[in-house]
Amino acid sequence: MISLVIPVHNEEKILQENLEKILGYLNFLREESEIVLVENGSTDRTFAIASEISRRDKRVKILSIHQKDLGKALKKGILNANGEFLIWYPIDLSVALDYIPESLREIKNYDIIVGSKEHRRSSVTRSVTRKFLSLIYNSLVNLLFDLGISDTQCVKTLRAESTRPIVEKTNSRGIVWEVELLYLAKKSDLRVKEVPVHVIDTGRKSKINISDMIKAFINLIILGLKYKLMP
């Protein structure tokens, strides 16, 4: 069984249409599956729409946390998912759906598959500003944690049995959570592989603003110091 873990925050405009596309694609794959929607801090009708979809389709589970927080949403979704393989996937469909079967083929020999926008075979359309911020962020990640991973901020597929114990240990918030997950995976000698992704320009404004990026840089440094000072 596979579980798609999808954080959602103020997504009332796209939630129903995009969720139907995802469910249709899962029908095409003919894999036993579930979708775990984790509403986090929405102020619109996201939770109500998600709840209605969940009532109509038993494959859709809806969870909720009070604050907007990607890391906490992913952790809650992963720990409440039932699948053998767990896929963190964006509701805006900014990553092509074919990542799902491709990552499932790769995970047979690994514990974590990391979709990388920086992979030489990736197809990506992004603004110059977002490319620059990602470059700085990923450079800082590897300076502090020496992960050897070119992009920590994209889709991921996890083998539940081997990764759930390290997910339980994570405490970081926002996008820094993914860095902590990968660092703990490295410390635990889990097998990690980067794969290319096809990133689609949805025309949407990023939900991560400058304030979020500043907080992420600060939290990243704090996390790096925490693990360097630990015995």
Scan for tokens 């596309």, then name that residue: 21
- pLDDT at residue number 227: 85
Q: What pLDDT shows up at residue 133? A: 78
Any idea what the CATH number is for the domain that residue 89 is in? 3.90.550.10
Task: Specify the pLDDT at position 207.
Answer: 60
Percent of the chain at pLDDT above 70?
95
Q: Is the pLDDT of residue 127 over 80?
A: no
Contact of 185 with 84, CB cutoff 8 Å? no
Q: How far apart are CA 65 and CA 48, in angstroms?
A: 14
pLDDT tops 90 at residue 198: yes
Domain that holds residue 185: 2-229
* Mean pLDDT, rounded, for 169-187: 95
pLDDT at 216 over 90: no
Which residues fall within 8 angstroms of residue 67, CB to CB, at 6 or more apart? 40, 41
pTM: 0.90
Q: Give how many domains the chain has, as a whole number.
A: 1
Q: What is the pLDDT of residue 206?
A: 60
E strands along the chain, which residues?
A: 2-8, 33-40, 60-65, 85-88, 112-116, 156-159, 192-196
User: 231 pLDDT exceeds 60?
Assistant: no
Residue 129: the pLDDT is 76
Q: What confidence score (pLDDT) does residue 66 get?
A: 93
Range with the poorest average pLDDT among 58-67, 78-87, 118-127: 118-127
Is the pLDDT at 226 greater than 90, yes or no? Answer: no
